[in-house]
Each structure stands twice: as C-alpha cells, then as structure tokens.
A and B are shown apart, each in its own frame.
Chain A
C-alpha cells in the first residue's frame, strides 16, 4: 500500500475540484484510502491521516470513523502524534460519546508528563471538552498543576479549573487553597486566567464572594501598576498596558464591590483614575473605559463618580466608531432609571442617534428616548419621535407608536396637542398600531369633551384621504357615529369648520362598508356608526335602507347587528333614542395617573359597540378611610376595589336583555337600620358571572317631615371581604317617604363567611348635622352562602 498522501497534497487536490460533486468524489476516495490505512494499524502515517480527516471534517464531511484513531494517537509517545490526536479529540469527540472516557487515563498520564507541552495539551483538552466524570477523576491533578511555579502550566490549569467548576460545581471548594497566592504572580498570563478563575468562583458562590472580598486591595494595586507603569512592549496594545487584564480586573472588582460599602470605597480612587487617564483614541482605551463605567454604576460609588461615568458614556455617543456608540446607548438604557437626571443632559445627542444608519443603534436610541421623555421636554421630544416614526423601518413602527401613545398620555401638555399627536400617529403608522390602542384612543377622545368637534372633523378629513389603515378607520367611524351632529353643524372652534352634509358623511361610512380594504371589525364599526347617526341626523330613511340591506349579509357579525338594528327601527323604535344616546365619559380600567371621580346616572348604558369599552365605573371616594379611622376597628377593613370586572357584552345580545345581570335571586330583603325616621332596607341580588359577589341595593327612606340633605352612606366589612360602593342615586332623602335614595354595594365573599357590616350615616336634618354608626348583623344566610 503506497504511503498515504500528505495533508497539503490533499488540500491541493480538493481545491482543483470544480464542482461540489467532484469534490465529494475526491473526498470519498480519500476517505476510503484512510479507512484502509486505519485498518492496517499503521503507526507511522496515522497522524497524517487524522490531519486529513480533520480537514475534511471542517469542510462538512463525516469523520467519525477517526475518533478511535485519535485515541490511539493520544496514547502514542511522539509529540506530533499527541498534538494532532488531542486536536482531533477536541474537534471530533464530545461527552455524548462513551469513547471519550477512554481518554481519561491518557490525560491523567499526560498531566504528569515530563514535557510541559504535553501537560499543556492535556490541560487544554480537559478544559475544552472534559465531561463531568472526567473532571471528577482528574480535578486533583489540575489542582496540583494550579500550584506549580511553571507559569505556562499554571495559566492553563487555571482555565481548566474554571471548566471543571462549571461542570462539577461541588468541586469548587477543592481549588480554594490553590488560589491563595495566585494574585502575587508576575506573569500576566497567569494573572489573567487567575482573575477569570476568581471571577467564576465569586459568581457561583456568595460564600466565595465574601471570602475573596479581602483581595480588593491587591487587585487595586495590580490595576494601579498597570496604569502607572511605563511602556511595556510585551503587553502593549495600542499604547495601553495589557488591556485584557485591566478589563478582567475591573470586572472582578465590580462583582466584589456590588452591594458592599467598604469594598466600593476602596475602589473609588482607582476607578476615578482609570476613568480620567485612559487614552480614548483607540478601541482598547474605550473598552477599558467602558468596563470602568459599568463597574462604577454597579458598585456603591459616590455620586460624583457616577456623574463622571455617565458623562463618559455621553462622550462615547459622539464617537465616530459605531461600536462605541452602540455600547454606550445600551449602558445608558440600563442606567436611565437610577440616574435619570445625569442621562437627561445627553438627551440631544441621544435623539441625534435616531437618525443613525445602523439599525441596532436606532433601536437603542428609540428605547432610550422614550425613557427620557418627561413633562418638560415632551413637545420637543415628540416632534423628533414623530419624525422618526415617519421614516423608520416597519419593524420599529409598532413599538414606536405604542411608545408615543404612552408618553403622550402621561405628559400631554394640552388635550388638543394630545389629539393632534394621536392623529399624526394614526395617519403615518396607522396600520402598525396595536389592537388595544383603538379602545384606548376612543376612551381618550370621549374624555376630552371640548375637543369633540375638532376631533371628529380631523378624523373625517383623514378618512377622506385614506381608508386603508384600519385602526384609524375604526376610531374615525366610531367618532363620526358619536359626534356626527357636531360635524354637520360645523361647530368646530379650534380650526376652520368644514361644510359637510349628512349625505356626504353617510357616503363615507357606506364606502367603508363596501370597501375591500375594510376588515370585518371595521365594517362592524361602520355599521354601528351609521345606526347611531339615525338619532343625530334627519335622513333616517337612508339609514334604514342601509341597515336592512345588511340584514342579509354573509358576514354573521354584520348580519346580526343589522337585524337587531332593524328591530330597533321597527318594534323598539321608542327605545332607540335612549339607546343611541351620546356615550358617557368612560373611566379607564387601569390608568397611570390619579383616577377621577365621575358621576353617572348609575344606570349602565348597554354598549352596543365593541365589548372592549368598559361600562362606566365610579370611584368610591376617600370617605371610607375616614370610616375606618372613626371606627378605629382593627378587624374591619374597607377594601376598595377600583375596578369593576368588565362584563363581556355580546354584540347586541343584551340589547333586549338590558337588566340581564340583575335578576332578583329570591333572597328576602331586610331592614338594616331604622332610627330617627331614617330607614335603610337592603335588597339582594347575585351577580351572575361571579357567585361570590353579592350585590346589595340599599333603599333609604325618610319618614320625617323634613328632607334629609347631604346624605352620605358608608360601609365597612371584615378583612376577609371586599367591598365596593357605587354612587348613590342622590343625596337627598325626600321627606315623608316620597322617594328613596338607592345605592349599590358589591361585596366579594370568597371564603363564604358570615356577612357583617358596619355602616355610618351622615346627613343634615332640619339644619343640624346628624351622624350615626350602626352594625348590621342580620343578613339572611342566603346572601353570603
């Protein structure tokens, strides 16, 4: 059998292949030759064959049949064999194959070899792919080598130890004694890997962390020497002495100093020194500075130092190198919560980064900009952000739009500005806004009562331009439905009112219904809007016609709506005006700012539009807290729920079942209080969705000859309950039983305990203020079981 070809020969041959198929053919031929050579147990050429195999493996061809050969090479005495054998083992083997365990003995022997380079090979292999079993077996050898004076071996042993600890964390203790004088080494390679080892140990074990805190002074000294020492040609990278070691030490200092005052103080000086003295013209200088900044931010540093750090980051933003800018933006994002004011100073630079060409930088800048928006800079920032929204890639638009909405909600300087901003977002990025923004916007619009005319006019004009962006269309059609009368009457104060006729409006809405661009949801909005206009416009016949056409629509949703609206026109025409009245102001279920108290009639208007609109919710006032003070009770806690669970309103299903939830459930009413002519009765219902909630309506009546005015009813319940008071029908209890004041209380009783209540009544009677407290214990069992 002729000698197997050399590696270079093979490479040359393969490179002459013109097609993939040709290459494959050559490789297969060579593999066959190699296989037969392996079978012959040829010791001389084994190393050559394995080298070729590794080359073919790199190109993507299977080479597993060489695994055992690698082991044979490792066991050989020749250095050449061992070298390629270990390399082959690292590239071809891993702990999933049982074969790898056969290496353990070889490695053990080689760890004790007389030649340091063989020992080095063994350490390298163990440190790269040693399995947990191997690590357990050989940890002792590694630990021995960690204490050797040979720096070449010591540094490799350190990294090998890191690998061992990662694989078998319990062995960490074993390496502790060897770490004692690691830091007194002069050799930078050893220092570097030692710091890595110490870092690994500190990250894994809080005990180790506490133990190694005493090393802080030593680390500071080493760092100082690095900075102060003159030019050292060996470790110099672009004029800085061993930046890798500096970075590693800074990182370890960060871990040691976090949360510890003494350590943090010990490092303050050196951090300030590094921060001010490091040369920033080259990449490595910036790497060190960056690491320093991160350390300063993480430990308990003085505020002066923190400001210095943030200013460094700000300087980074102006750097030409994109890497630096990217990294600076990322760090600023992390620190903006804690050091908000310091970061604010760099706001204009950050905003400039929005215009950068690089996608990663743009994204960071956008997130940071949103974090920096506050009441003072909202106008300026919003201008930049809206401009960004116009020109950015689609992947950003959704996030940017949401961010704009959030920021506008928090900091809008005026209602008009807010609505203008929303309009701008809807018209520029309308298709990218999230689904939940539509109901949010509608709620916002209803709240700005004085802007209704302006809003509907702007929305109408937007619709005339473009009906493709669904969220815009949905909001617009809802508004036109609600405020169409304002639109045609031309009442707008904010800007020049436009002349619109009813027919034009109906044209637009009908256009939405038939357009291919409209989604079914949008069509639903449009149909409902048209219906609402029947009470606001005069051309009812046209509306009737439209509605009846859609009674036979294929879309089931539309069909159902149309049929029910038809019914409204026919059988229930008397209810139509009431039902299609102007919507009351909606309270948000979860808002960021202080909630407002809104008075309604206490009758929920059934929402015939999307179920997303929450029914009007009133806020119980702070009076319940006063009740608690007065009672001084420890066990009685009025817990005020600020939200009402949204009843999922099926579209139109509740139209005819207006009071569906409030069916009387057969619990007998009771008298809770009867004194001085004031009688309070409780009637009970059960709220259907949740059997644990009892709905109690109080009826207060007055049998004296004078009215009771300023009547306020408060209640408190034991801790296991939760209570919600809705607003009363009025606060005057008319004289001589001519009327009652009603108020709804909802009690959540998850543990089904006996209901008890303390009530407090205040009113003015015949000119004098009356106050009374009472306990109500006579609840019928059915009310709480």
Chain B
C-alpha cells in the first residue's frame, strides 16, 4: 500500500502532499521534512529505493523517489507489503505514469503549474491512485476523465471566476524560475519561452 505521495522541490517546499494513512498535522510536516532530508542527500547515480527512516507508521517503510528537474516525486510505500520490493520497480513506473499524465493535462508541465493548480493536481492524482492503491494506469483514460470533470466545473463557473482571468493573473507575474529543460525519463521537454510581458 502506498502510504503517502509527496512532491516537493529542490528546497523542500511542498508542492503536493497526499497521505493515505492518518497522521497528525505536525507529524505530516515532520515526515515531509525528514523525507526531503533523506532524499536530497542522495546522489543521482544511486538506486531509487531508500529504506530506513522510522517516522512513517512506526515500522520500517521504503521510499521510492524520482527526481525530475526541480521536483522530487516520492512514493512512501509500506515495506511489509512490498516484500522484497515487489512493487518497487513498478512504482517507479507508476510515478512515471503520473508525471506523464500531468504532462498531458498541463501541456508540458513545469513546477509552476503544480504550484498554481494544486487542486487540479490532486484531482488528477485521484484518478491514478485511490486509497493507497493504483487505480488506473491508462493515461488516455485518466486524462479523458479529468477533462470531463474539469469541463463540468467550468460550466458552473469554477473555483475562481472565468478562467481567462486566471491566465492573465499568471501572465502579470514575475516568473524567475522557469526550468528550461525538463528530463522525465525518456522524454525531453523543452519549456517554451513565454512572450515578454
């Protein structure tokens, strides 16, 4: 079972936090800090599994993580169910699927997208993982389902007002940190430079 899915950036700032097991708020923040601490120390050449850490669930757990550009995607997996890392390798692929889906939904996703569309990212994740278990891995399915629901929201007016306004709000901002090049496994994504504003 997946105990938690954490996305944070190179400085440890959380971008998406989803726990599938109950933890008190301060525990959650501590887990995020400890996970970042463990994961940021790792060289890029070592394996993507980390054992040890005794914070989550009291007993041992495994961290499976992937580093994409400025973001860490971390899956905290129950190591007892993982039994010799049964799902480890596949989880690495699962994170891959998640990132690919994000990419499709946001059209060349970058960290800023995650920052400003936290709710959307949650909704996408909800279609991939449910209750700590992998729900759907067909990216087209996921994207299609998310789009329908987004359209339903839009027709009601959405969270904010008309989406056009949101876009203009983004355009008017200072964007100092756009990663120019994102390497997601086999895909090389070049971030288009926005028109000057």
Contacts and interface: CB of A to CB of B under 8 A. Distances in A.
- Pairing of A with B: yes
Interface of A: 6-9, 11-12, 15, 47-48, 51, 54-55, 57-60, 62, 78-80, 83-84, 87, 91, 94-96, 115, 117, 124, 127-129, 152, 155-156, 159-160, 162-163, 188-189, 192-193, 196, 234-235, 237-238, 242-245, 247, 251, 283-284, 286-287, 290-291, 294, 321-327, 330-331, 334, 357-358, 360-361
Contact of A6 (B45, B93, B160): B160
Interface string B157-168: 111110000100
Given A283-B92, A323-B48, 14 more contacts: A51-B119, A54-B118, A57-B25, A78-B156, A80-B153, A83-B153, A87-B119, A193-B133, A287-B93, A322-B47, A323-B88, A325-B47, A331-B84, A357-B46
Interface stretch (B67-75, B102-110, B123-131, B189-197): B123-131
The 8 closest A-B pairs by CB, nearest first: A287-B89, A322-B47, A127-B131, A6-B160, A94-B22, A323-B47, A244-B137, A189-B136
Contacts of A58: 14, 16-17, 118
A294 B126 CA distance: 30
A7 B119 contact: yes
A159 B135 contact: yes
A331 B89 CA distance: 13
Contacts of B88: 323, 327
A83 B123 CA distance: 8
B170 interface: yes
A235 B137 CA distance: 8
Contacts of A245: 137
A160 B89 contact: no
Interface in B136-152: 136-138, 140-141, 145, 148-149, 152
B46 A358 contact: yes
B106 to A, nearest CB: 14
Contact of B131 (A152, A160, A189, A284): A160
Contacts of B134: 192, 196, 244
A188 B115 CA distance: 32
Contacts of B87: 247
Interface string B11-33: 00010111010100100110000
Nearest to B87: A247
B93 A47 contact: no
B141 A189 contact: yes
Given A80-B159, A117-B148, A162 B137 contact: no
B171 to A, nearest CB: 12
Contacts of A115: 152
Contacts of B14: 58-60
B53 interface: no
Nearest to A95: B22
B47 A326 contact: yes
A234 B138 CA distance: 6
Contacts of B170: 8
Given A6-B159, A189-B141, A323-B49, A127 B130 contact: yes
A94 to B, nearest CB: 4
B60 interface: no
B45 A294 contact: no
Contacts of A156: 130, 135
Contacts of B46: 322, 357-358
Contacts of A188: 137-138
Nearest to B14: A58
Given A6-B166, A55-B118, A283 B156 contact: no
Nearest to B51: A360
Contacts of A54: 118-119
B184 interface: no
Contacts, number: 179
Given A58-B14, A159-B131, A163-B131, A323 B92 contact: yes
Interface string B73-111: 000000000001111111011101100000000000000
Nearest to A63: B25
A11 B93 contact: no
B166 A8 contact: yes
A6 B141 CA distance: 30
Contact of A192 (B22, B137, B145, B148): B137
A357 B131 contact: no
A244 B159 contact: no
Contacts of B122: 87
A97 to B, nearest CB: 10
A237 B89 CA distance: 13
Interface string B29-52: 100000000000000011111010
Tell me what chain A mostly uses at the interface: helix, strand, loop, or mixed. helix
A372 B17 CA distance: 44
A49 B152 CA distance: 20
Given A80-B158, A87-B119, A156-B135, A322 B45 contact: yes
Contacts of A357: 45-46
B125 to A, nearest CB: 10
A60 B90 contact: no
A47 B159 contact: yes
28 contacts: A7-B119, A8-B166, A60-B14, A60-B25, A78-B156, A80-B156, A80-B157, A83-B153, A87-B119, A91-B18, A128-B132, A155-B135, A156-B130, A159-B133, A192-B137, A235-B138, A237-B96, A238-B186, A242-B137, A244-B90, A251-B86, A287-B92, A323-B47, A323-B89, A326-B47, A357-B45, A357-B46, A360-B51
A291 B90 CA distance: 10
Contacts of A324: 89
A284 B138 CA distance: 15
Contacts of A196: 133-134
B145 A244 contact: no
A191 B141 CA distance: 14
B130 A159 contact: yes
A62 B137 contact: no
Nearest to A244: B137
A241 B45 CA distance: 28
Given A83-B149, A152-B145, A287-B89, A6 B130 contact: no
B93 A124 contact: no
Contact of A11 (B51, B90, B116, B131): B116
Contacts of B116: 8, 11
Contacts of B169: 6, 8-9, 12
Contacts of A235: 137-138
A294 B137 CA distance: 23
A628 B123 CA distance: 78
Contacts of B48: 322-323
Contacts of A55: 118
Nearest to A197: B133
Contacts of A155: 135-136
B156 to A, nearest CB: 5
Nearest to A57: B25
Nearest to B115: A11
A500 B152 CA distance: 95
A58 B170 CA distance: 21
A48 B89 contact: no
A60 B119 contact: no
Contacts of B133: 159, 162, 193, 196
B15 to A, nearest CB: 8
A334 B83 CA distance: 11
B159 A7 contact: yes
A180 B51 CA distance: 39
B93 A237 contact: yes
Contacts of B29: 60
Given A156-B130, A357-B45, A243 B93 contact: yes
Contacts of B160: 6-8, 48
B76 to A, nearest CB: 15
Nearest to A96: B22
Contacts of B126: 87, 124
A19 to B, nearest CB: 14
A117 B149 contact: yes
Contacts of A96: 22
A235 B14 CA distance: 31
